[in-house]
Amino acid sequence: MRILFLGDIVGKPGRHGVRDLLPEWKTRYAPDVVIANGENAAGGVGITPDIANELFRYGIEIITLGNHVWGKKEIYPALESDPRLLRPANYAPGVPGKGWGMFQVLDKPLAVMALAGRVFMEPADCPFRVFDALRPEIETPFLFVDFHGEATSEKMAFSLHVDGRASAVIGTHTHTQTADERILPGGTAFLSDVGMCGPYDSVIGMDPDIIVPRFLTQLPSKFEVAKSDPVVCGVLLDLDRQTGRALSIERLQHRP
């Protein structure tokens, strides 16, 4: 089973980067399913139903979300009704949406789970223990986890904690692709961060003319998505069709 996962899609440049490049990547890599993190798709913060549908039209089939999931309130009902939208599983009980879902890919059930880290992030329940609690319910060896976190150490520790119990743990949130892809001894593919689909000349997707002065002055300012051409970052995973163990992991990055 071949999975293509795209990192955080940031604003219009990120959406258009996916629109323009995904058909080519689909032809070249022939993924069986395309998943993307869409937490920054609407103006850099959150996602709306219209924008989620736009991403589905471009060929994305499942959208994971991260700490910006609550950025646009219009998405709340869709988080409940659309099984293709997943917010972090380790948020408080009773909040809108769900943290994992089951999808038919080829003739196999693929589970996809989103989790949020807790290091240098907003408070959330323990992603390690939430994974442990949920894993027995998920009756498939094919499990893709988007671990949305700031700290490399937390993502790496998590991947070792779940090695052999997930097919892949791929990090998101930093918007910067790391070069540490590997397959762990138990068969879990890991990458600390897949990177973003968003404006290349930017500070992790945001306008440098706003962000650089913000660092210099520490005055509050409203973030705006930068307007440059996009970088598109992803990862290609091959899973054994019987065991769900990762056979290969390859980073993809297309710069303008």
Q: Does 174 bind Fe ion (CB under 5 A)?
A: no
Per the DSSP assignment, residues forming a β-bridge with 167 are none
Unique residue bearing structure tokens 């054994």: 240
Nearer Cβ to Fe ion (105/252): 252
Residue 48 main-chain phi, psi, to 5 deg? -110, 165
In the list 7, 13, 34, 40, the residue contacting Fe ion (rule: CB under 5 A) is 40
Nearer Cβ to Fe ion (22/69): 69
**From 43-51, 65-73, 103-111, 113-121, span contacting Fe ion (CB under 5 A):** 65-73
Q: Smallest distance from the beta carbon of 194 to Fe ion, in angstroms? A: 11
Looking at residue 105, what DSSP letter applies? E
Residues 105 and 70: their CA atoms lie apart, in Å, by: 29
Q: Does 8 bind Fe ion (CB under 5 A)?
A: yes
Residues 215 and 91: their CA atoms lie apart, in Å, by: 30
Q: Taking the mean position of all CA atoms in its chain, how far away is CA 235? A: 10
**For residue 162, what are its two tokens?**
């779940």
Q: Does 154 bind Fe ion (CB under 5 A)?
A: no
In the list 12, 155, 165, 173, the residue contacting Fe ion (rule: CB under 5 A) is 173
173 is catalytic: no
Count of residues of this chain found to bind Fe ion when the rule CB under 5 A is applied:
6
Unique residue bearing structure tokens 């097919």: 167
**From 116-124, 167-175, 177-185, 208-216, span contacting Fe ion (CB under 5 A):** 167-175
**DSSP code string of 158-174:** HHHHTBTTBSEEEEESS
Active site residues: 68
- In the complex, which residues of this chain contact Fe ion (CB under 5 A)? 8, 39-40, 66-67, 173
